[in-house]
Amino acid sequence: MPARPLAFVNTRLVDPASGYDGPGAVLVADGVVAEVAKGSGLGALSPDVEVVDAAGAALLPGLVDIRVKTGEPGAEPKETLKSAGLAAARGGVTSIVVQPDTHPVADDPAVVDFILRRARGIQLVHVYAAGAATKGTEGERMAEIGLMREAGCVYVTDADRPIANSKVFQRVLSYAKAFGVPVAHRPADPWLSKGAAATTGEFAARLGLPGVPAIAEKIMLERDLALAEATGASLIVDQITTAAALESFRRARDKGLPVVATTSINHLSFNEIDIGDYRTFCKLDPPLRHEDDRQAVIEAVAAGLIPIVVSAHAPAPAEDKRLPYDEAVPGAVGLETLLPALLAFHHEGRIALVDLIRAVTTAPAELLGLPAGRIVQGGPADLVLCDLDAPIVIDADKLVSKSKNSPFDGRRLQGKVLRTLVEGRTVYAV
């Protein structure tokens, strides 16, 4: 569809790649950013340009979320690529990386190819695929990392399942390195984590919930960092959520290891007390932590030690959540709430806006080499127009995601997405 050129004027332009946060305007034509005006206005516009007066609303690069689960293939009632795409568009997320733990598991090039082809047919947001690191994500035999890379996978991971066997993980790291494929790994000691529904501590003990000690994260992370150092592979630490693990990670970064960490918006926004009277929407993997841990993780994001924030979007239908706490499935949807939840730290004055936005745009895009996450002339016109100050109340029932398991249900936030563009196409508008 050859859309008319589009000019966003009178915006607060936020472009983390250049560190710019100030007044600006952007001209979009033929799916790309044709002109960026920082501070000044655009030049003379031809009469066929559709002009959008943003009235001071923020114009951001479309968000890049590198940890998203859908139910496709295999569990479509939970979420399809299309429903996830709609949710992403509504949340201002224009690129997603889907996780390989589907049915069947994306552990060979055919499944990766299937997902990417399905997504292309939907034409909503950009969909990238992560492949499994081991066959069936069982942690025993390496998956076809090279062939999956050729099919388009951007990194490999066993998603929620840690690879317990150190020899297997060492091989995955060194093999993936040769093919230039980053490896993401969840740091969690599987034996300490077994059967756990919450983080060990006073609160879980009072509720009588089986717990995993917070150090389970540090224990596995220490191993992963040692193996990353030994192999020189590019390791993505899939969600640091505890202060203890941050210590280890900081040491590795100080040594200059090529390791990058993410954390989830949930662990930035909630602590274990939010579980309250067994609220299963707050049952997550990793489980919610102590408040000291949450504060440490926020500080790490503010300081850039954790450069990437993910939604950890994990749809689960009511029948998997409306169960006694230890039987309920962990996980929360997050695509539609990622941006407003993140903006809370801007409104609190805790983290500068441009740094917050970098963690969900430029940083993840650069890590994986995706053509996204910046507003630059000639770059793809993946953009979000957002009223940063508009108050909203999250209503889980009104999410467009097929599953409604949001711990943000009922939460009051600020930040309303007004319009989302993917390669110049409007995929969402209020």
Partner 1 sequence: MSAAPTGLNEVLGRTFPFPKRHFLSVLDLNEVEVAGLLDLADGFVSLNRQTSKKLDLLKGRTLMNLFFENSTRTQSSFELAGKRLGADVVNMSPRSSSISKGETLIDTAVTLNAMQPDLLVVRHASSGAASLLSQKVTCSVINAGDGQHEHPTQALLDALSMRRAFGYLAGLKVAICGDVLHSRVARSNVGMLQMLGAHVRLVGPPTLMPAQADRWGVEVFHHMREGIAGCDVVMMLRLQLERMDGVMAPSQREYFRYYGLDREKLARAAPHVRVMHPGPMNRGVEIDSDVADDLSVSLIQDQVEMGVAARMAVLAALAARLEEA
Q: Which residues of this protein are in contact with partner 1, per CB under 8 A?
A: 200-202, 204-211, 213, 277-278, 319, 322-327
Helix (H, G, I), strand (E, B) or coil at 332: strand
CB of residue 246 vs partner 1: minimum separation in angstroms? 21
For every residue of 248-288, DSSP letters joined together read HHHHHHHTT-SEEEEEEHHHHH--GGGGTTT-GGG--SSPP
Name the residue nearer to partner 1 (CB basis): 41 or 210: 210
3-class secondary structure per residue, 185-201: ECCCCHHHHCCCCEECC
Name the residue nearer to partner 1 (CB basis): 39 or 77: 77
CB of residue 203 vs partner 1: minimum separation in angstroms? 9
Query: Dihedral, CA atoms, 116, 121, 122, 125, nearest 10 degrees?
Result: 50
Q: How far apart are CA 214 and CA 200, in angstroms?
A: 7
Q: How far apart are CA 104 and CA 102, in angstroms?
A: 5
The amino acid sitting at 107 is D
CB atoms within 10 A of CB 4: 11
Name the residue nearer to partner 1 (CB basis): 292 or 389: 292
Residue 393 has phi, psi (to 5 degrees) of -120, 125
Name the residue nearer to partner 1 (CB basis): 203 or 408: 203
Name the residue nearer to partner 1 (CB basis): 257 or 396: 396
Name the residue nearer to partner 1 (CB basis): 20 or 278: 278
Name the residue nearer to partner 1 (CB basis): 167 or 206: 206
Q: How far apart are CA 389 and CA 54, in angstroms?
A: 13
Q: Are 145 and 180 in contact (CB under 8 A)?
A: no
Q: Are 189 and 200 in contact (CB under 8 A)?
A: no
CB of residue 325 vs partner 1: minimum separation in angstroms? 5
Taking each helix axis from N to C end, the angle separating 109-122 and 81-91, rounded to the nearest 10 degrees, works out to 60
Q: Token digits for 390?
A: 């508009």
CB of residue 321 vs partner 1: minimum separation in angstroms? 10
CB of residue 298 vs partner 1: minimum separation in angstroms? 23
Name the residue nearer to partner 1 (CB basis): 4 or 322: 322
Q: What's the burial of 37, exposed, middle or buried (CB within 10 Å: 0-12/13-18/19+)?
A: middle
CB of residue 322 vs partner 1: minimum separation in angstroms? 5
Closest CA to 172 of 230, 217, 218: 230
Name the residue nearer to partner 1 (CB basis): 76 or 326: 326
Please work out, in degrees rounded to the nearest 5, the angle formed at the alpha carbon of residue 147 by the alpha carbons of 146 and 148: 90
CB of residue 407 vs partner 1: minimum separation in angstroms? 16
Name the residue nearer to partner 1 (CB basis): 381 or 396: 396
CB of residue 184 vs partner 1: minimum separation in angstroms? 30
CB of residue 243 vs partner 1: minimum separation in angstroms? 16
CB of residue 22 vs partner 1: minimum separation in angstroms? 49
Looking at the DSSP bridge assignments, the partners of residue 95 are: 64, 126
Closest CA to 126 of 147, 154, 160: 154
Looking at the DSSP bridge assignments, the partners of residue 312 are: none
